[in-house]
Structure 1
Amino acid sequence: MKLYLILLLPFVLFAQKPQLLLLQVYKDQNITNWVMSEKLDGIRAYWDGKQLISRGGKHIYAPKFFIKDFPPFELDGELWSKRGDFENISSIVRDKVPSEKWKEITYNIFEVPHAKEGLLKRLEKVKPYESDILHVIVQREANSKDELFRFLSAVESKGGEGVVVRDPNVAYIDKRTSKALKLKSFKDAECRVVAVNHGKGKFANMMGSLTCRLDNNATFKIGSGFTNKERMGPPKIGDIVTFKYQEFTKYKKPRFPVFLRVRYKGSDL
C-alpha cells in the first residue's frame, strides 16, 4: 500500500490545477496610482518551486537548463518569445519532449503567488533571480485614463496584444478580481468547442463553423476568422479557443464572433 501511494503522488501533483489571479475587463474604472504593463500573448505558466504547471493543471516539460536557476518559491508568468508568435510558442511549450527551440522562450513574471505586501514588493523578491531566461515584467505608473490609452496605443502599434492595469497596493488575490484589469482595442473571450460543423459552398469538404459553449452555458457558432488551413485541420471538440466580438446580446451570446486562435487543446486541460 505504501508503494502504491508513492507512485501515485507525482500524478496527483501534475494534475492539480493552481488557483491563480484572473483579470476582469477594464470598464472606465478609476486607476489613479495603479500600475500598467504590456499583456504578453504567450502560454501562462505557474512555477510551484519545483516544476512549471499550466493554468489547467498540466505539467509543462521544460528542459533542465531552462528551470535550473529558478527560485524555490512560487511564480506566475508568461512563457513568451516575441509579439505575434503565439503558435510557435504553443508548439514549443506543449511538446512533451522538450527541444532546443526552448532557447527561444523566456519566462516573464507578473506575480509572486501568496507572497506578502503589495505587488511591487512581491516582484522585488524575483529580481535577484533575473537572467536571460527569467524576466520581471516592467510595471509603469498609470495615473490617468489618457495615460493608460496612450500606453495601449504604443503597445498595439508594435503588434502587442493589450495592457494589464493593476492596483499595486492590494494583497495577492487568487481569483478573478476588479483590482487587476485587461484592456484591448477589441473585446475577446474564450469558449469550449462542442461541435465542428461541415462547410457548404466554397467551404465544402472543410470545416464551416464551430459550435462553442461559454462558461454561462450559452452556445453559439463561430464561422469567420479561419484560414483555409485551419478549416482543413480545425480545432477539436474539447479545445478552448479565443475569439473576438463586439458585445454580448441580451441572451448573453457574443455578437459577431471572429475566431482568433486555439488557446488550449483539450488534451492540455
Structure 2
Amino acid sequence: MSITLNQMSTIFALLAISATVNAEGHQYLPKPPSVTNALEYDQNVDLENYYVSEKLDGVRAIWTGKELVTRSGRVLNAPNWFVRALPNISVEGELWAGRGAFSQVQKTVLDKIPNDEQWQGITFMLFDVPGHLGTFEQRYEYLTSYCNSLPYTHIQCVEQKLIATHKELASLLVDVTEYEAEGLMLKVRHEIYHPGRNSSLIKVKTVQDTEGVVVGYKPGKGKFNGVMGALLIEIKGGVRLYVGTGFTDEERKQLQRLVKSLLSNTMDGLIMACRGLPDFIALESKSS
C-alpha cells in the first residue's frame, strides 16, 4: 500500500495532537511512531546497495513535525530553542553527546523538566526522514541540504559513506569501536522508507543485541536484600534467563517497585531492549 506525502504528514500530525500520561507523569503518544528497526549483519549482504555510517550510542528520537518523541512514543521535554529549527515533516535521528556519553544523554533527555545547560551538550544527529517519500539517497540529500542551511550546531546530519567489501567493513568496525563507538549501520540506498524490522537497515556490532519480555524477577539477597536481584527475561524461542548484572543500586530499587507493581496488576510482561551489557535498560509496556 502506498502512502502519499500528505497522508504521511497527516498521520504524524494526528499522533502529535494528544498524548497520554503514565503513572510517573511522562507523556506518551497514543501510538508509537512507525520506525525502521535493524536486522543483524551477515556476510550475505550486498554492500553495493548500502551506505554505511557510525552507530551512535545515544537515544533514538523522532521529530513528528510538532513533538520530539522516543520510538516508544514518549514525549521528550526538549527546550524550545532545541526544536524550533526542526522542519514541519518527520525526521529521525540520535540524541547524542559523543562517544561513551550515553548515560549523560539518557539523564538529560528523559528529565521531565529540561535543563538548558545539560541540553547544550546534546546534538540531534539526523539519519533519516520518515516523512519523505523518496529513496534513501534522496532523503539523505534532503538531510544534508537542510543541515547545511542551519546556523546551529546542535542539529547535524549523520555522515553516510559507500564501502566496497566486507573486509573493508570489518576494518572500519575495528577502527570505530577502538574509539568507543557502538558499531556501524548499513542503510539501503535505493528504497523508500520501510517501517518495521527489515533489511533496509542493518546493524554491525562486535557485541550483538537481543530483545525479550520481562516475565518476572528474582528478589535480591545479601547486599541486594529488599531490591531487585535479577529480571527473568523470555527471549526468542521461548528461552528464559535471568539478567542480574549491570544495574545500579537505584535502578534495582526502581525496577523492584515497577516490575512488582506491573506484574501484580495482570500485565503479561514488559518489552526490554538489552544492549549487550545492560548499561541501559528500556522498559515499555507490551501493548505500546
Task: Compute the TM-score of the two structures, normalised by the length of structure 2.
Answer: 0.76
Report if the CA contact (8 A) 1:51-1:59 is conserved: yes
Which residue, 10, 16, 20 being the options, matches 2:18? Answer: 10
Once the two structures are TM-superposed, the CA of residue 177 in structure 1 deviates from its matched residue by: 1.0
Match of 1:94 in 2: 110
Q: Aligned partners of 1:261, 1:10: CA distance in 2, in Å?
A: 28
1:29-63, Cα deviation, whole Å (9 max, x unpaired): 23332211111111111111121121011211111
1:238-265, Cα deviation, whole Å (9 max, x unpaired): 4734153xxxxxxxxxxxxx53421346
Match of 1:168 in 2: 189
CA RMSD of aligned residues (A): 2.7
Q: Given the alignment of the two structures, is residue 124 of structure 1 paired with residue 141 of structure 2, yes or no?
A: yes
1:98-151, Cα deviation, whole Å (9 max, x unpaired): 111111111111111142332122122123432301111000112110111111
Report if the CA contact (8 A) 1:109-1:134 is conserved: yes
Q: Given the alignment of the two structures, is residue 27 of structure 1 paired with residue 42 of structure 2, yes or no?
A: yes
Counting matched residue pairs gives: 248
1:1-269 equivalences in 2 (<5 Å): 9-11=17-19, 14-33=29-48, 34-100=50-116, 101-130=118-147, 131-200=152-221, 203-204=224-225, 206-214=227-235, 218-226=239-247, 230-231=251-252, 234=255, 236-237=258-259, 238=270, 240-244=272-276, 259-264=278-283
Q: Aligned partners of 1:178, 1:152: CA distance in 2, in Å?
A: 19
Q: Aligned partners of 2:250, 2:86: CA distance in 1, in Å?
A: 38
Which stretch of structure 1 is more off in the superposition, 48-57 or 121-130?
121-130
Which stretch of structure 1 is more off in the superposition, 115-124 or 143-152?
115-124
Percent identical: 28
Once the two structures are TM-superposed, the CA of residue 14 in structure 1 deviates from its matched residue by: 2.9
Match of 1:5 in 2: none
Once the two structures are TM-superposed, the CA of residue 176 in structure 1 deviates from its matched residue by: 1.1
Q: Secondary structure at the match of 1:123?
A: helix
Segments of structure 1 that go 5 or more residues without pairing to the other structure are 1-7, 245-257
Q: Aligned partners of 2:244, 2:114: CA distance in 1, in Å?
A: 34
Q: Aligned partners of 2:41, 2:103: CA distance in 1, in Å?
A: 27
Report if the CA contact (8 A) 1:192-1:212 is conserved: yes
Once the two structures are TM-superposed, the CA of residue 24 in structure 1 deviates from its matched residue by: 0.3
Which stretch of structure 1 is more off in the superposition, 64-73 or 229-238?
229-238
Q: 1:85 to 1:194 in 2, by over 3 A?
A: farther
Q: 1:149 to 1:222 in 2, by over 3 A?
A: same
